[in-house]
Amino acid sequence: MDLRYATHPQQLPSFDTEQLRAHYLVEDLFVPGRITATYTHHDRIVLGGAAPAGEPLELPTYDALRADYFLANRELGIVNVGGPGTVTADGQDFTLPSGACLYIGRGTRSVVFAGPTGETDTAGVADDGGTDDTDGGAASPGPQFYFFSAPAHTTHPTRLVLRGEGNALELGDQLTSNRRTLNQYIHPDGIRSCQVMMGVTELHPGSMWNTMPAHTHDRRTECYLYFDLAPEARVIHLLGEPEQTRHLVVADRQAVISPSWSIHSGVGTAAYSFVWAMAGENQSFGDMDPAPAVLLR
């Protein structure tokens, strides 16, 4: 588990590019056959990726959590950004196609990530050793489970929601290059949780900006996982206080940690999607402090 300590906004102006990336960017989330995890002291969030490839992967108990098992004092949100797969929570199997979101409540002792039920190989190789040609010869992608966890002081039931089944908000305008569909999955009027909120935003073709005008919410830390980018595409992610901004250049399937005092906005070289997840003082989606573009520096 990678450990990231909390930072003060006055530290940001002194960070060079490598320091910015070391504090706020999470790279290499999806390593075939492994689970990766990053613990940030900002609201004690853990984010990570599970990419099963041939064998199931069980979420371990990390020493840094000082707990008998991962979800002894935590809750967990999962979004699959790869091919179909399964998650087993205390013996109960959940099938997650691409874009599905699963919430697992505090007290669940075992969480196992795997490929589709009945399959042992999730990397697109056929049983006869050849390449799976169901998509014209290219290997089918295996599941890639992005997970986001925060401390929980109550227990809510484990629930699954499929892509498009959450509360969908149509936001932005094509004239400002930020037309997007925001899907709320884990939130007070959907899948209930103690403090985690989670969903997926999909930019429409021709749109490149997310969350502009920007905002902060000093009561919650938020993390973005960018995906659906071509290998050569990038997102320029803005962070920092509104009057003292910096930027990160982010590739496909990389995540950004946004402290509560930081804006979180970005523009891509093409349309993309991102998983947004947050935890902190409250679950009020509208609890934002606006940062209009004319005030950004």
pLDDT digits (tens, 9 = 90+) for 205-249: 999 999 888 889 989 999 999 999 999 999 999 999 999 999 999
pLDDT of 19 over the 90 cut: yes
253-274 pLDDT per residue, tens? 999 999 999 999 999 999 999 9
Does residue 34 lie within any of the structural domains?
A: yes
- 19 CB contacts (<8 Å, ≥6 apart)? none
Number of domains the chain contains: 1
Token pair of 293, please? Answer: 């573009």
Domain of residue 142, residue span:
2-128+138-295
Does residue 282 lie within any of the structural domains?
A: yes
Locate all alpha helices (DSSP H) within the chain, ordered by sequence: 17-24
Closest CA to 54 of 142, 128, 134, 170: 142
Mean pLDDT of 179-208: 94
Percentage of residues in the chain having pLDDT higher than 70: 92
**For the chain, give me the number of helices (H) and strands (E)?**
1, 24
Token pair of 202, please? Answer: 């999909």
Determine whether 175 is exposed, middle or buried from the number of CB atoms within 10 Å of its CB (0-12, 13-18, 19+). Answer: exposed
1-16 pLDDT per residue, tens? 999 999 999 999 999 9
Instruction: Please provide the average confidence, as pLDDT, over all residues in the chain.
Output: 91
Instruction: Give yes or no for a contact between 229 and 254, defined as CB atoms under 8 angstroms apart.
Output: no
pLDDT score of 284? 79
Provide the CATH number for the domain around residue 237: 2.60.120.10
99-154 pLDDT per residue, tens? 999 999 999 999 999 998 745 433 333 333 333 433 443 455 799 999 999 999 99
pLDDT score of 281? 84
pLDDT score of 140? 58
pLDDT score of 129? 36
Does residue 133 lie within any of the structural domains?
A: no
Mean pLDDT of 166-178: 89
Does residue 186 lie within any of the structural domains?
A: yes
Instruction: Give yes or no for a contact between 112 and 92, defined as CB atoms under 8 angstroms apart.
Output: no
Cα separation of 68 and 61, whole Å? 7
Does residue 190 lie within any of the structural domains?
A: yes
